[in-house]
Amino acid sequence: MAIEPAKDAAAKPSYYITTPIYYCNAKPHLGTAYSTIVCDTQARFRRMDGYDVKFLTGLDEHGQKVADSAAAHGMTPQQWVDSMVPDFADLWRTLEISNDDFIRTTQPRHVRSVQHFWEVMRDRGYIYKGSYEGWYCVPEETYFTETDVRHAEANKDRPADAPVCPDCGRPLERISEESWFFKLSEFQKPLLDFYDAHPDFIQPEIRYNEVRSFVEGGLKDLSVTRTSFDWGIPLPFDQRHVTYVWFDALINYLTAVGYGDPEKADELAFRWPAQTHVVGKDIIRFHCVIWPAMLMAAGLAVPEHVLAHGFLLVRGADGRGEKMSKSRGNAIAPQQVLDLLGVEGYRYYFMTDVAHGADGAISFERMAQVYNADLANSWGNLVSRTLNMSAKYFDGASPARGDGYAERESPLRDAAADVYERYAKAMGAFDYQAGAREAMALAEAANLYIEQSAPWALAKDPSRADDLAFVIWGLLETIRLCAVLLAPITPATSAEVMRRLSLPTEPTDDLRAACAWGQFEGGSPVVKGDALFPRLDADAVAAAAQA
């Protein structure tokens, strides 16, 4: 999914990125936080690289599952979803999520957008009224045909031939009701043609192959309304029917950029199609089959990319990953990770140690290992050592950039050569591991340079004052570069490092220029400060696991 970096920061092309919108039936968990930080990191990188970014997240507040959760808590559905908003908003604030918009599907703007979409679909002849009879999974909010389901052989509470959900294994409900249908069956060939023309639409490739195979197997018309409950958006031309929750939810991506609002036509034209939807692999059929077909039916462009990430698994004693489960006692809550790593360590670990296209096996031990190796020992140690030496040898300040310093030969200058090209290519492809490695490689080169150049020895020889200044200046310039490169992943730490260097703390919007060697002028105060990332010991890991 390599998208070319912006060549002209002043042009500010649009970059529209979205998380899935999250169900309101439970508090946010590691998986929802993971999707959101993946998007936030990309949004921050794109802003730094000269894009006009819109980063959307929000909540999916309709459907039977939400209504059932509300009833179980003695609330109306609206009261229930209102009560859930702070849980998400507070966690996103804690995790430094920089979303530009937060959509709720109960908002009037979304109701207007969905109802406008219905009118367009009716006018273009892609919906019809019929009746639906089949199996429905309330937890997954999904319909299944007879051929989709498998039988619950070990379920003693139900007849042996009672079907269960192919996705979650829970019992299915038999539903028979009047419904409006979307003519999904008409889009098999258009979808396959689209996939052929846009082979990078779905990432990673394994998900592309999965989706394509599914569509090649044939598509059936889709029931897209319900009449058995009323917690949903009513059809503008048939008030007895409310919109099927997935049909409603997908349209949020249009709502947020002005669809259905004549006063926001310019925003829609600028923002649509979206550049990237980030989703979990369990919802790719909705985003890569149903959603493109809906857009084609409505005469709208299909988003450029869908990035499907894997599941977060818990690393077991055998080293293999297994699903988190309260019954197994292996579920990890976001707060447990925050207590161990802090916010910046949390962001760094999940963005650099979990490959975004595959399932990732995580453990507290591995978290501490990555944190200590990269953040405490390499990056944090470099900042502490260098700022301490600069303050000691230059009266609390940094050495001024001398004439020719930027051109003078240095292993650090060599290490930073062409870093923008490598870094931007990696980050634009959502390869945050490779992007972070560019920063860590510079930090490791700087730590080695300290040992090889021995500034403490140079400081003892007055005749080598210029050499000492050159060494310390080069180390500080490397720190500046590392802070720039790590800003999308650990924004608060990068801002703090810039503050200690007496540099502006706001991220750049011209990344290419900021990555050029020799930008640090120096001659200004430096602040030593506390350790950015104190080392973690075994006791801290044990405490986090028991929390």
Question: pLDDT tens digits for 98-137?
Answer: 999 999 999 999 999 999 999 999 999 999 999 888 788 8
Residue 50 confidence (pLDDT) above 50: yes
Percent of the chain predicted with pLDDT > 90: 78
Whether the CB-CB separation of 231 and 242 falls below 8 Å is answered with yes
Which of residues 320 and 231 earns the better pLDDT score? 231
pLDDT of residue 223: 94
Q: Indicate the fold that domain 9-309 takes in CATH.
A: Rossmann fold (3.40.50)
Average confidence (pLDDT) over 382-391? 98
Task: Say if CB 126 and CB 186 are below 8 A apart.
Answer: yes
Q: Kindly state the average pLDDT of the residues 349-364.
A: 89
Mean pLDDT, the chain, as a whole number? 92
Q: Give the pLDDT of residue 152.
A: 41
∠ CA 250-251-256, nearest 5°, is 115
> What is the arithmetic mean of pLDDT over 493-504?
98
Q: Percent of the chain at pLDDT above 70?
A: 92
What does the pLDDT read at residue 6? 46
Q: Is the pLDDT of residue 178 over 80?
A: yes
- Using alpha carbons, select from 403, 312, 413 the residue that is nearest to residue 359: 312
pLDDT tens per residue, range 311-334: 988 876 566 667 765 556 567 889
Task: Quote the CA–CA distance of 3 and 285 in Å, as a whole number.
Answer: 23
User: So what's the pLDDT on residue 160?
Assistant: 47
Please give the single-letter amino acid code of residue 390: S
Q: Residue 394: pLDDT above 60?
A: yes
Instruction: Indicate whether 176 pLDDT > 90.
Output: no
Supply the pLDDT for residue 316: 64
Confidence of residue 171 (pLDDT cuts 50, 70, 90): confident
Q: Is 179 exposed, middle or buried (0-12, 13-18, 19+ CB in 10 A)?
A: buried
pLDDT of the residue at 482 = 98
Among 254, 288, 318, 341, residue whose Cα is nearest residue 54: 254
Letter for the amino acid at 74? G
pLDDT at 9 over 60: no
Is a pLDDT exceeding 60 seen at residue 439?
yes
Query: What value does the mean pLDDT take over residues 299-310?
Result: 97
pLDDT tens readout for residues 196-230: 999 999 999 999 999 999 999 999 999 999 998 89
Report, as an integer, the average pLDDT of 432-446. 98
Residue 147: burial class (beta carbons within 10 Å; 0-12, 13-18, 19+): exposed
Lowest mean pLDDT among 133-147, 232-246, 468-482: 133-147
Q: Are 100 and 58 in contact (CB under 8 A)?
A: no
User: What integer is the mean pLDDT of 178-182?
Assistant: 96
Model pTM? 0.92
pLDDT at residue 442 tops 80: yes
Average pLDDT over every residue of 485-508: 98
Quote the pLDDT of residue 155: 45
C-alpha distances out from residue 517 to 4, 48, 405, 417, Å: 22, 17, 10, 8
8-state DSSP, 169: -
Instruction: State the pLDDT at residue 154.
Output: 41
**Choices 1.20.120.1750, 1.20.1260.10, 1.10.1040.50, 1.10.730.10: CATH for 364-514:** 1.10.730.10
Per-residue pLDDT averaged across 165-181, rounded?
Answer: 85
pLDDT of residue 3: 41
Q: Average pLDDT of 386-413? A: 96
Whether the per-residue pLDDT at 159 is higher than 70: the answer is no
pLDDT attached to residue 157: 54
Is residue 10 pLDDT above 80, yes or no? no
Among 513, 514, 517, 355, residue whose Cα is nearest residue 429: 355
Over residues 28-51, mean pLDDT: 96
pLDDT at 544: 84
DSSP string computed for 330-366: ----HHHHHHHHHHHHHHHHHHHSS-TTS-EEE-HHH
Residue 29 burial (10 A CB sphere; 0-12, 13-18, 19+): middle
Beta bridge partners of 101: 56
Domain positions in the chain are 9-309, 364-514
Give the pLDDT band (50/70/90) at residue 5: very low
The pLDDT value given to residue 142: 79
H-helix or E-strand spanning residue 413: helix 411-415
